[in-house]
């Protein structure tokens, strides 16, 4: 009985000692390097291969903090290593609860919480459905050679107290609503606004976003679903004028002279603003042209904590080295 | 453009002269440290003028093309080395190691096309200067450490033993090089943090495994490894010197290799 009682503490302290080993730290750092290279090259390898050595380092660090006398006498070093641990924890929490997505919004239309693409952590619990904003067009300058320059995108948005507010976003100024951050992107283009009226139902307005401009300068086509009966019709936004001239500075704008070509089977219709066409019992009226902007949305509640913890890490690292090197001159 | 290039070539001539004198100084045992420092300062002054002329002509700093990045790094590395050279006389003979490395960069700079690049809107932020500033101090500190490590290695291989004999012994040089590695770690950490903040502002994500980000992180890991290796095994200074060479090579390839082989946003793409 006695022998057993003393074996357990011995085993426990041996394990703790092994976990706190600085050789283990080296091994784990070496294991992390190929995991990072894998993560660089393969998107599907960005979780477990990284998580395993990182979790190992976290355990190793906790054990070392608990047992190593070196830490006891160097408080700045403790703060530095603890902040590295805290960063790991925050990144893990961020990965579980983040959201990243894209959306396209027609000028003047209200964002209603729906995203075109979404990628979110398993525990994302934000309130995107309640977020409301609209944009009032944008200006984007282009330098010669079609090099995109400054983006200015005036937006209106509902703040948390229910008041509408205005600001201008673009480039490194996202729209921040709650913890959601909306960034303008290089994705933007022209949108045809149409009213659709079919027998027996109320007219509705719909928009067709043509592919991003100028990347798809020669592919300004899209399809519209007319409803259950009508099937799809094919559309082309047709204009001849040069919007962005590669030879000089220019600015993104709507074309002034354009037509909407609508093709339904073999039938082809050319619509100017205000024109209508009847297709299979559905009347389609071209109400006009607007812009649309593509946004990237990002949610990660850990961002301010990550910033603060990183600042703490680097300050304590500096503090540790200043303390250590102050004792002896550099030109000793 | 002609005038600014001529001033730049004049700066390079001054650097090359200082390097040649430093190398011969070590080889022949003649100390011409004041001349070496004077020529470096002359080179720095001329290069600053050339950079300023270009900046005011094209309206933005040297951050875009390979020519500009090499140009600004030659400047910042020479500046960091000049400060170390001036303040820490013991490491002066390391110019014989550092200057040949700089010659490589200068030769490459002379071959690079001095044309202009597009300055993307995401670069119009103070983070550009903060992030790049941190990176430059990091690389500068690594270069100084490399110079000191170079002396330890040259001594080991029997090169210049006599010339280097009046320098401190290996363990003292090792300690000095380690200080520069510590400085490098602090600034590398700052570079990663400020880069993440900037990436969040500009691209809506603080980390996306883009090649430059990833290789910078691997360099940081190698620094962590080198520091822990030293703590754990107390290796001989020659081993530590090799570790420093490895860190420098990785940092160098990350800085001057990755941005020009990858097509990521880090290049300032559309
Ligand atoms: C996660 C596992 C880690 C453990 C268990 C660990 C443990 C330790 C210990 C015990 C020391 C003190 C050694 C001594 O003074 O005798 C130390 C020092 C240090 N560690 Fe870590 N560490 C870890 C990760 C890291 C990482 C990822 C970095 C990143 C750079 C790092 C940077 C440092 C630095 C800069 C020192 C001080 C070196 C000096 O005073 O010269 N450590 N570490």
Name residues whose C-beta falls within 8 Å of residue A75's C-beta, 6 or more positions apart in sequence. Answer: none
Q: Which residue of A has its CA nearest to B188?
A: A314
| Separation of CA A110 and ligand 1 centre (Å) | 52
- On whether both A275 and A212 belong to a single domain, the answer is yes
Nearest to A171 among B90, B122, B232 (CB): B122
**Given a cut of 90, is residue A200 above it in pLDDT?**
no
Determine what percent of chain B falls in helix, strand and coil, rounding each to the nearest 5: 80, 0, 20
Q: pLDDT tens, B112-130?
A: 999 988 888 889 899 999 9
Residues linked to residue A180 through DSSP beta bridges, in sequence order: A177, A299
For residue B165, give both structure tokens.
Answer: 């004999």
Q: CA-CA distances (angstroms) from residue A265 to A230, B54, B203?
A: 11, 59, 42
Residue B30 main-chain phi, psi, to 5 deg: -105, 130
What stretch of H or E contains A130?
none
The residue written with tokens 């030109």 in the block is A331
Question: Which of the listed residues A98, A115, A147 is the one where a domain comes to its end?
Answer: A98
The chain-wide mean pLDDT, for chain B, equals 92
Residues linked to residue A299 through DSSP beta bridges, in sequence order: A99, A180
Q: Which residue of B has its CA nearest to A87?
A: B193
Does A326 map to a domain?
A: no
Q: pLDDT tens, B128-178?
A: 999 999 999 999 999 999 999 999 999 888 777 677 777 888 999 999 999
Q: E-strand spans in A11-76?
A: none
Vertex B195 angle, CA A40 and A119, to 5°: 50
Mutation probe of ligand 1 site: the residue of A25, A53, A76, A319 with most atoms within 8 A of C-beta = A25
Helix (H, G, I), strand (E, B) or coil at A18: helix
For residue B90, give both structure tokens.
Answer: 């013991």
- On whether both A198 and A169 belong to a single domain, the answer is yes
Q: With beta carbons under 8 A apart, name residues in chain A contacting B176.
A: 330
Per the CB < 8 Å rule, is A100 touching B224? no
Per the CB < 8 Å rule, is B221 touching A29? yes
Whole-structure pTM value: 0.92
Candidates A139, A132, A140, A124; CA nearest to A105 is: A132
Nearest to A29 among B89, B189, B224 (CB): B224
- On whether both A89 and A126 belong to a single domain, the answer is no
Q: Which residue of A has its CA nearest to B122?
A: A171
Q: Which of A228-237, A295-304, B221-230 is least confident?
A: A228-237
Determine what percent of chain A falls in helix, strand and coil, rounding each to the nearest 5: 35, 35, 30
Per the CB < 8 Å rule, is A311 touching B193? yes
Size of interface A-B (CB pairs under 8 A): 102
- On whether both A193 and A222 belong to a single domain, the answer is yes
Candidates B250, B131, B241, B149; CA nearest to B187 is: B131
For residue B148, give both structure tokens.
Answer: 């000191």
Does A159 map to a domain?
A: yes
Does A310 map to a domain?
A: no
- On whether both A277 and A147 belong to a single domain, the answer is yes
Q: Identify how many contiguous H helices and E strands chain B contains and give both numbers.
A: 10, 0
Q: With beta carbons under 8 A apart, name residues in chain B contacting A170.
A: 121
> Distance of alpha carbon B212 from its chain centroid, rounded?
17
* Residue-by-residue DSSP string for B96-139: HHHHHHHHHHHHHHHHS--------GGG-SHHHHHHHHHHHHHH
Sign of torsion, CA A41 A44 A47 A49? negative
Helix (H, G, I), strand (E, B) or coil at B158: coil
For residue A25, give both structure tokens.
Answer: 């730290």
DSSP code of A137? -
* pLDDT score recorded for residue B270: 28
Does A163 map to a domain?
A: yes
- On whether both A82 and A135 belong to a single domain, the answer is no
Quick count: other Cβ atoms within 10 Å of Cβ A254?
15
CA atoms of B46 and B100, how far apart (whole Å):
20
Name residues whose C-beta falls within 8 Å of residue A5's C-beta, 6 or more positions apart in sequence. Answer: none
Does A328 map to a domain?
A: no
- On whether both A88 and A150 belong to a single domain, the answer is no
Q: Which of A91-95, A126-130, B54-58 is least confident?
A: A126-130
Give the total residue count for chain A. 332
Per the CB < 8 Å rule, is B125 touching A298? no
Residue A313 main-chain phi, psi, to 5 deg: -60, -50
- On whether both A71 and A120 belong to a single domain, the answer is no
Q: Identify how many contiguous H helices and E strands chain A contains and give both numbers.
A: 6, 16
Candidates B179, B185, B172, B204; CA nearest to B247 is: B185
- On whether both A60 and A197 belong to a single domain, the answer is no
Q: pLDDT tens, A43-102?
A: 888 888 999 999 999 999 999 999 999 998 999 999 999 999 999 999 999 999 999 999
Q: With beta carbons under 8 A apart, name residues in chain B contacting A26.
A: 225, 228-229, 232
- On whether both A35 and A54 belong to a single domain, the answer is yes
- On whether both A84 and A118 belong to a single domain, the answer is no
CA atoms of B145 and B124, how far apart (whole Å):
33
* pLDDT score recorded for residue A331: 74
Q: pLDDT tens, A86-119?
A: 999 999 999 999 999 999 999 999 999 999 999 9
For residue B136, give both structure tokens.
Answer: 């430059």
For residue A86, give both structure tokens.
Answer: 């805290």
Nearest to B121 among A40, A151, A181 (CB): A151
In this prediction, residue B269 has a pLDDT band, given cuts at 50, 70 and 90, of very low
Name residues whose C-beta falls within 8 Å of residue B77's C-beta, 6 or more positions apart in sequence. Answer: B102, B105, B136, B139, B140, B143
Q: CA-CA distances (angstroms) from residue B163 to A114, B91, B158, B234?
A: 72, 13, 11, 27
Nearest to B190 among A170, A297, A314 (CB): A314
> Distance of alpha carbon A83 from its chain centroid, rounded?
26
Distance between A49 CA and the closest CA of chain B, angstroms? 14
Please state whether beta strands A259-264 and A232-238 pair in parallel, antiparallel, or not at all (unpaired).
antiparallel
Q: pLDDT tens, A204-253?
A: 899 999 999 999 999 999 999 887 666 789 999 999 999 999 999 999 99
**Given a cut of 80, is residue B229 above it in pLDDT?**
yes
Name residues whose C-beta falls within 8 Å of residue A237's C-beta, 6 or more positions apart in sequence. Answer: A190, A192, A210, A220, A221, A258, A260, A261, A289
Domain extent, residue A236, equals: 100-298
For residue A137, give both structure tokens.
Answer: 């067009």
- On whether both A244 and A126 belong to a single domain, the answer is yes
**Given a cut of 60, is residue B267 above it in pLDDT?**
no
Does A199 map to a domain?
A: yes
Does A307 map to a domain?
A: no
How much of chain B, in percent, has pLDDT values that exceed 90?
77
C-beta of residue A294 within 8 angstroms of C-beta of residue A212 = yes
| Separation of CA A81 and ligand 1 centre (Å) | 7
In this prediction, residue A1 has a pLDDT band, given cuts at 50, 70 and 90, of very low
C-beta of residue B140 within 8 angstroms of C-beta of residue B85 = no
In this prediction, residue A5 has a pLDDT band, given cuts at 50, 70 and 90, of low
**Given a cut of 60, is residue A2 above it in pLDDT?**
no
* pLDDT score recorded for residue B90: 87
The chain-wide mean pLDDT, for chain A, equals 93
> Distance of alpha carbon A267 from its chain centroid, rounded?
42
Quick count: other Cβ atoms within 10 Å of Cβ B254?
21
Does A332 map to a domain?
A: no
C-beta of residue A155 within 8 angstroms of C-beta of residue A185 = no
How many domains does one find in chain A?
A: 2
Give the neighbor-by-neighbor strand order of the sheet with A232-238: A221-225, A232-238, A259-264, A267-271
Atom of ligand 1 nearest to the CA of A60: 5
Atom of ligand 1 nearest to the CA of B178: 41
In this prediction, residue A203 has a pLDDT band, given cuts at 50, 70 and 90, of confident
CA atoms of B229 and B209, how far apart (whole Å):
27
Name residues whose C-beta falls within 8 Å of residue A136's C-beta, 6 or more positions apart in sequence. Answer: A107, A108, A154, A155, A156
CA atoms of B262 and B108, how far apart (whole Å):
19
* pLDDT score recorded for residue A225: 86
Q: Which residues line ligand 1 (CB under 6 A)?
A: A 22, 25, 57, 60-61, 64, 68, 70-71, 77, 81, 84, 324; B 185, 224, 227-228, 231
For residue A64, give both structure tokens.
Answer: 């070392």
In this prediction, residue A6 has a pLDDT band, given cuts at 50, 70 and 90, of low
C-beta of residue B81 within 8 angstroms of C-beta of residue B70 = no
């Amino acid at each position: 009985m006695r022998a057993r009682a003393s074996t357990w503490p011995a085993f426990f302290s041996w394990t703790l000692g092994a976990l706190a080993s600085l050789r283990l730290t080296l091994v784990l750092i070496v294991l992390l390097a190929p995991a990072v290279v894998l993560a660089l090259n393969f998107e599907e390898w960005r979780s477990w291969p990284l998580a395993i050595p990182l979790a190992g380092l976290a355990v190793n660090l906790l054990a070392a903090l608990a047992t190593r006398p070196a830490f006891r006498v160097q408080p700045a070093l403790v703060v530095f290593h603890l902040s590295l641990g805290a960063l790991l924890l925050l990144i893990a929490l961020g990965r579980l609860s983040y959201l990243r997505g894209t959306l396209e919004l027609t000028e003047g239309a209200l964002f209603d919480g729906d995203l075109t693409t979404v990628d979110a952590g398993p525990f994302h619990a934000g309130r995107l459905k309640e977020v409301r904003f609209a944009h009032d067009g944008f200006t984007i300058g282009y330098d010669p050679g079609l090099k995109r320059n400054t983006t200015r995108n005036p937006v209106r948005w509902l703040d948390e107290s229910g008041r509408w507010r205005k600001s201008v976003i673009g480039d490194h100024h996202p729209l921040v609503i709650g913890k959601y951050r909306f960034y303008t992107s290089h994705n933007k283009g022209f949108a045809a606004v149409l009213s659709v009226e079919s027998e027996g139902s109320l007219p509705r307005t719909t928009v067709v976003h043509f592919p991003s401009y100028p990347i798809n300068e020669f592919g300004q086509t899209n399809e519209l679903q007319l409803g259950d009966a009508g099937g799809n019709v094919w559309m082309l936004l047709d204009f001849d004028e040069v919007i962005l001239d590669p030879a000089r500075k220019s600015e993104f704008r709507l074309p002034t002279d354009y037509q909407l070509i609508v093709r339904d089977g073999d039938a082809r219709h050319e619509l100017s603003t205000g024109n209508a066409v009847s297709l299979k019992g559905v009347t389609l009226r071209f109400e006009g042209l607007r812009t649309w902007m593509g946004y990237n949305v990002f949610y990660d509640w850990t961002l301010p904590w990550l910033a603060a913890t990183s600042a703490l890490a680097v300050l304590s690292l500096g503090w540790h080295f200043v303390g250590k090197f102050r004792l002896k001159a550099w030109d000793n | 453009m002609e005038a600014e290039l001529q001033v730049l070539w004049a700066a390079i001539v001054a650097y090359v002269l200082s390097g040649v004198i430093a190398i011969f100084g070590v080889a022949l045992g003649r100390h011409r440290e004041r001349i070496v420092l004077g020529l470096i300062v002359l080179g720095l002054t001329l290069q600053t003028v050339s950079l300023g002329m270009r900046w005011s002509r094209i309206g933005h700093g040297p951050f875009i093309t390979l020519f500009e990045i090499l140009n600004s790094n030659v400047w910042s590395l020479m500046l960091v080395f000049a400060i170390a050279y001036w303040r820490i006389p013991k490491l002066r003979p390391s110019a014989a190691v550092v200057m040949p490395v700089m010659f490589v960069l200068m030769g490459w700079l002379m071959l690079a096309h001095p044309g202009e690049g597009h300055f993307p809107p995401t670069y119009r932020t103070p983070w550009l200067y903060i992030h790049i500033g941190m990176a430059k101090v990091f690389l500068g500190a690594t270069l100084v450490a490399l110079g000191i490590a170079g002396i330890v290695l040259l001594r080991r291989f029997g090169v210049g033993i006599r010339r280097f004999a009046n320098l401190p012994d290996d363990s003292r040089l090792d300690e000095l090089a380690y200080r520069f590695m510590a400085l490098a770690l602090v600034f590398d950490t700052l570079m990663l943090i400020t880069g993440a903040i900037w990436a969040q502002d500009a691209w809506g994500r603080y980390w996306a495994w883009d090649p430059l980000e990833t290789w910078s992180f691997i360099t940081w890991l190698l620094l962590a490894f080198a520091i822990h290796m030293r703590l754990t095994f107390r290796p001989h200074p020659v081993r530590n010197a090799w570790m420093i060479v490895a860190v420098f090579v990785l940092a160098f390839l990350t800085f001057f290799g990755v941005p020009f082989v990858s097509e990521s946003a880090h290049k300032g793409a559309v």
